[in-house]
Amino acid sequence: MSVTKPILIAAAEPNSIFLELLFKAQITKIKSPIILIVSQKIFELQMKKMKYFIKYKILRFDDILKKNFDNKQINIINIDYDNNNKAFQKINNKSNIYIQKSIDLAIKIINYGITNKFINGPISKKYFLNKKYLGITEYLAQKTNSKNVAMLIYNNTLSVSPITTHLPIKFVSKLITKKLIINKITILKNFYENVLKIKPIIGLTGINPHCETIDNFNEDEKIIKPCIRILKKKGIKITGPLPADTIFLKNNRKKFNLIVGMYHDQVLAPMKTLFEYDAINLTVGLPFIRISPDHGPNEKMMGKNLSDPKSLINALIFLDKNV
């Protein structure tokens, strides 16, 4: 029996590249036990198709409560899923109940105090979230009644966070408020200090090109600059608003631990260009540490055994070392 808190993983969308990445992730190098919520049938079929052999044992919920797990093999909690004995199928809404059961069980285990380390595999925004939520960040926030959360794409060299997440661009300026910016920056700062033990140096982008506008109302002057003054008074090391088209230049980005932007692609596009899969997606502000590897279901790559496991490996290492 291990005294190290386990890493809890919900495999989520069953027809995705996630299990392939898990097979490649060399979990025996991770000290924390691994508890995987998944369909045993799907796990075995994909393992066979991908020609891997991973040791595992099946756990009951009582085993979890008694902490009868170890780190020598994957500990699986089986969730039934009708897959017609096929290793991969096209993603559709038939997975929705299975995914919801998996995430609900994960939250239940966390609420029992078994662990505070959680990884979820990818889900389909089209089918599972179905326009009800902007992303899994918002879904988990609602499930846990968490009012203030932030998306953090983390790399130990540089990380980014968008003030708004998966939001159509035409709505962004309407939702940018002083309260939203101050809340997001504050919870990000607390995460860096409490979990990473770093006092972050933050760069905050403007919303308009070059932080200028031909409109009568300039959000950079009227909203963002006052936030900077308030945040500095709280002792936060922050600079801005900075033009988004130059903040990621080498000599500019090296000044910061964290660059916060106003919308998703403003900071995620340059981040993924710089680091590709060498980053993880954290939700900050939940009552546990939640990470999603920085990739989607990637339906086109299913079964090809060509996907890069770097982001999942980074997620496992982060939870193993920092939590």
Residue 149: pLDDT over 50: yes
**Residues 124/297, Cβ–Cβ less than 8 Å:** yes
- Tell me the domains of the chain and their CATH numbers: 1-146+286-323 (3.40.718.10), 147-285 (3.40.718.10)
Specify the range with the lowest mean pLDDT, choosing from 31-35, 157-161, 265-269. Answer: 31-35
Residue 2: pLDDT over 80: no
pTM (two decimals): 0.90
**Residues 236/192, Cβ–Cβ less than 8 Å:** no
- Cα 146 vs. chain centroid, distance in angstroms? 15
- Reply yes or no: is the peptide bond before residue 200 cis, omega within 30 of 0: no
**Residues 257/159, Cβ–Cβ less than 8 Å:** yes
Task: Give residue-wise pLDDT tens across range 167-216.
Answer: 999 999 999 999 999 999 999 999 999 999 999 999 999 999 999 888 88
Which are the contacts of 229, defined by CB distance < 8 A and separation ≥ 6? none
Phi-psi region of 145 (alpha: psi -120 to 50; beta: other; left: phi over 0): left
| H helix or E strand, kind and range, residue 271 | helix 264-275
What's the rounded mean pLDDT across residues 233-251? Answer: 97
Give CA–CA dist 50/211, Å, rounded. Answer: 50
Residue 127: pLDDT over 90: no
Q: Kind of pairing, strands 7-10 and 117-120?
A: parallel
Percent of the chain's residues with pLDDT above 90: 66
What's the rounded mean pLDDT across residues 248-268? Answer: 97
DSSP structural state of residue 25:
S
* Number of other CB atoms surrounding residue 321 within 10 Å: 10
**Residues 258/161, Cβ–Cβ less than 8 Å:** yes
Residue 1: pLDDT over 70: no
Q: Kind of pairing, strands 237-242 and 258-261?
A: unpaired
Helix/strand/coil for 50: helix
Residue 306: pLDDT over 70: yes
Task: Give residue-wise pLDDT tens across range 92-103.
Answer: 888 889 999 999
Give CA–CA dist 255/258, Å, rounded. Answer: 9
Percent of the chain's residues with pLDDT above 70: 97
Q: What is the pLDDT of residue 214?
A: 87
Q: Which residue has the tokens 């326009």?
A: 131
Identity of the highest mean pLDDT range in 59-63, 245-249, 307-311: 245-249
Picking from 52, 16, 48, 65, the residue whose alpha carbon sits closest to that of residue 35 is: 65
Task: Give residue-wise pLDDT tens across range 23-60.
Answer: 998 776 788 999 999 999 999 999 998 899 888 999 99
Give CA–CA dist 55/134, Å, rounded. Answer: 36
What's the rounded mean pLDDT across residues 229-245? Answer: 97
- Cα 7 vs. chain centroid, distance in angstroms? 14
Q: What is the pLDDT of residue 197?
A: 95
